[in-house]
């Protein structure tokens, strides 16, 4: 039995594109339906770093750091707003294997660097997972404007105030995990993304529209065990 996990999520960029719900639906398991805002479903690419990742109850000092990059969308099941992950790239072979085996998450091993300098985050990722489709991400992002509480902003709440995520295991079964954390603080953000092949690696055409960016300094999280649907 895998224990719940504690961790921190830090220096996050939410890079968001509207997408036709009918197109998104063809990429989702039958058990899930696209969630929509302003008539559109949404795809997001989220670079960040995990800090102090550890089993629940273990001292924070014994946790590990794990830079990560994920492609996600927003779904509902039985009226519960949730997240669905298409892919998660992370550094650390043991961590990737553990996430795949015990949490049934579609993790891929990647070489990732994240640096915070002069108020900006530099993030570079190159997927190195054997047998996987190539995926590369290079960019710099930073907060602009004033912070706001996500629950007070309808679109911000749609994107981040979700406390369950779903994945499809390699045997085709659906899995879910519940998360606990304080409400998100977001900032308007800007980004200079030089290379991004993540969406094509996950089978999506890159949207023609400009993405909407938000930044968050992060928060602390407790994730439950992965459960079979």
Mean pLDDT in residue range 113-138: 92
Helix (H), strand (E) at residue 44? strand 41-55
Query: Among 134, 112, 92, 124, which residue's Cα sits nearest to residue 195?
Result: 124
Residue ranges per structural domain of the chain: 5-228
Please give the Cα distance from 143 to 147 (Å, whole number): 9
Using CA of residue 151, residue 181, residue 19, residue 200, what is the dihedral sign?
positive
Tell whether the model's pLDDT for residue 198 goes beyond 80.
yes
pTM (two decimals): 0.93
Going by pLDDT thresholds of 50, 70 and 90, the confidence category of residue 10 is: very high
199: left (phi over 0), alpha (psi -120 to 50) or beta: alpha
Per-residue tokens: 2: 């895998």
Q: Please name which of 128, 150, 127 lies closest in space to residue 137, comparing C-alpha atoms.
A: 127
Q: What is the pLDDT of residue 1?
A: 45
DSSP string, 58-88: S-GGG-EEEEEEEEEEEEEETTEEEEEEEEE
Residue 131 confidence class, pLDDT cut points 50, 70, 90: confident
Lookup: tokens for 38: 């302003």
CATH number of 5-228: 2.40.400.10
């Amino acid at each position: 039995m895998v224990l719940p996990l504690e961790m921190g999520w830090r220096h996050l960029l939410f890079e968001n594109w509207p997408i036709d719900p009918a197109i998104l639906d063809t990429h989702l398991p039958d058990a899930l339906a696209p969630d929509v805002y302003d008539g559109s479903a949404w795809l997001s690419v989220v670079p960040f770093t995990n800090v102090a990742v550890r089993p629940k109850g273990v001292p924070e000092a014994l946790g590990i750091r794990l830079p990560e990059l994920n492609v996600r969308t927003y779904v509902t099941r039985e009226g519960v707003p949730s997240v669905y992950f298409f892919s998660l790239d992370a550094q650390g072979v043991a961590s990737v294997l553990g996430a795949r085996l015990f949490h049934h998450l579609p993790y891929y091993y990647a070489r990732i660097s994240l640096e915070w300098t002069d108020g900006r985050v530099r993030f570079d990722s190159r997927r190195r997972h054997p047998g996987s489709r190539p995926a590369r991400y290079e960019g710099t992002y930073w907060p602009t404007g004033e912070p706001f509480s996500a629950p007070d902003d309808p679109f911000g709440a749609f994107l981040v105030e979700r406390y369950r995520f779903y994945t499809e295991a390699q045997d085709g079964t659906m899995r879910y995990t519940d998360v606990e954390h304080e409400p998100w603080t977001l900032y308007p953000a800007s980004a200079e993304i030089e290379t991004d092949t993540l969406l094509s690696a996950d089978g999506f055409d890159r949207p023609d529209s400009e993405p909407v960016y938000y930044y968050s300094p992060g928060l602390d999280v407790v994730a439950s065990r992965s459960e079979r649907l």
